[in-house]
Amino acid sequence: MRFLNDHFRRALILENPHPSLDEYLREQGIEPERLPETATQDVGFVLERLREGQHDLLFKRSRFEVDDAVLEASQKLAAVMLCCIGDDSVDKDACARHGVLVMNDPVSNGRSVAEMVMGEMIGLARRLFHANEAGRQHLWTKDSLGRYELKGKVLSVIGLGNIGKQVAQLAEGFGMHIRFFDTAEVAREVGVALGWTPCKTLAEAFREADVVSLHLSAEDNRGQSNRDTITYELFSQLAQARPDNSPRLFLNAARGFLYDPDELQRAIEEGHVRAAAIDVFPDEPGSKKEEWNNPYAHLTDVVTTPHIGAATEEAQPRIAAHIAGTTRLFNVYGTVRDTVFAPRQVIGVDAEAPYWALTVVHSDARGTKKALSDAIYEAGANNIQSSHRDIPKYGIAYDVSAIDRPLSEAQLGDLVERARRISGDEAAVRALRQFEVR
């Protein structure tokens, strides 16, 4: 059980998010400890820093793996704050067991990824990368063979989420016809409302397209990994229902493990996919200094970039500002937004200050919520307002109560004990924090 700090005091920062983050945190009274990018490869060193510093928050990007050992290293850790979208580097079940929340920034880098994808799409369609390579060898390769306009071509967007939607909108501006494949009802509704054509299957999305762009999340909507969702069979159907001289392009700026690179390679060698732009790989190095074995290095029709979809001068400070805002809401009010446990939901109260906030991460075992309400009542405190969200997929709930007086240490202990007794779950309360909102 974690008794957390009143307001947060210390943060550990890994993987070099934008430096403006440090100042935003200092303004909130949180002292940042920023480790150099290379420290990420030295897990022992990071654990040692967490043990010694007992940080309240861990800020990171998409590489450093968060597991039980990391969560146990700081008993004060309240949340992992992801300065990115992808959460697949975090063991979310372990975080739920430890009562540590995980929040990300689902919006700030979407535009950067979408613009890169459009740039690559034009570059591939017009064979700009080949022309540039030839130019370096003093070759004048002026011809129109295999060079295409995007206008009038069909683009299939696989995964019509934040980024997929932006790519579709930009591509529409170039006169492309948009198809999409997404299993989420809301994504389908949005796509249809925007006038785009939904595909019933992935095979249809490949068959009917001149260009396929992949924008799936790491997991599907039931929390199952999307690993190997795209297969050679799909690649080999690209543009089968399109005219013979279709450009047949494939782009992936989502996740590297959505297919096996060997399967894409085979489809390229057999001519089913004519050219590809790949930003993400199943095995990515932890830093610039590590060696990288590019699986496509020998293929002249594959353009690779080192996972730089979101790496722009604009996106990185935007992410720092957004995640600092998320931190502030959590730190000052106990309000949680952008938690990967309950995407697109805000869990918090809007009571008028001053009041005391009591925030609890607890198991969703029957009786735990009642134990919490009873303990507040028995303590003689008045519950002005509360907000509660069950997260059944991870067996936890997050609860924020605005109360008119703080519970004493003994009363908080009683709350924890009461929850254990009523629910029969030894770990009924995972994390508890009480602080004044002024």
Ligand X SMILES: NC(=O)c1ccc[n+]([C@@H]2O[C@H](COP(=O)([O-])OP(=O)(O)OC[C@H]3O[C@@H](n4cnc5c(N)ncnc54)[C@H](O)[C@@H]3O)[C@@H](O)[C@H]2O)c1
Q: Are 49 and 35 in contact (CB under 8 A)?
A: yes
Amino acid at 339: T
Catalytic residue status for 55: no
From the CB of 164, what's the least distance to ligand X, in Å? 6
Distance CA 402, CA 434 (A): 10
Catalytic entry in 307, 322, 337, 430: 307
- Residue placing its CB nearer to ligand X in the complex, 45 or 232: 232
CA 277 to chain centre: 21
- Residue placing its CB nearer to ligand X in the complex, 56 or 208: 208
Distance CA 136, CA 130 (A): 10
From the CB of 162, what's the least distance to ligand X, in Å? 4
Ramachandran region, residue 245 (left: φ > 0; alpha: ψ -120 to 50; beta: rest):
alpha
- Residue placing its CB nearer to ligand X in the complex, 107 or 134: 107
Catalytic residue status for 136: no
Catalytic residue status for 284: yes
- Residue placing its CB nearer to ligand X in the complex, 109 or 326: 109
From the CB of 228, what's the least distance to ligand X, in Å? 11
- Residue placing its CB nearer to ligand X in the complex, 83 or 419: 83
Catalytic entry in 2, 63, 255, 420: 255
Cβ-proximal residue to ligand X, closest one: 161
Catalytic entry in 23, 48, 233, 284: 284
Q: Where are the alpha helices (DSSP H) in 270-367?
A: 315-328
| Contact residues: ligand X, CB under 6 A | 85-86, 106, 109-110, 113, 159-164, 181-184, 187, 215-218, 220-221, 226, 229, 253-255, 279-280, 307, 309-310
Q: Are 303 and 120 in contact (CB under 8 A)?
A: yes
From the CB of 183, what's the least distance to ligand X, in Å? 4
Closest C-alpha among 96, 108, 22 to residue 339:
96
Pseudo-torsion of CA 388, 219, 103, 55, nearest 10°?
110
> Who contacts 94 (Cβ-Cβ below 8 Å, separation ≥6)?
66, 67, 68, 71
From the CB of 301, what's the least distance to ligand X, in Å? 20
Q: Are 113 and 163 in contact (CB under 8 A)?
A: yes
Q: Which positions are catalytic?
A: 255, 284, 307
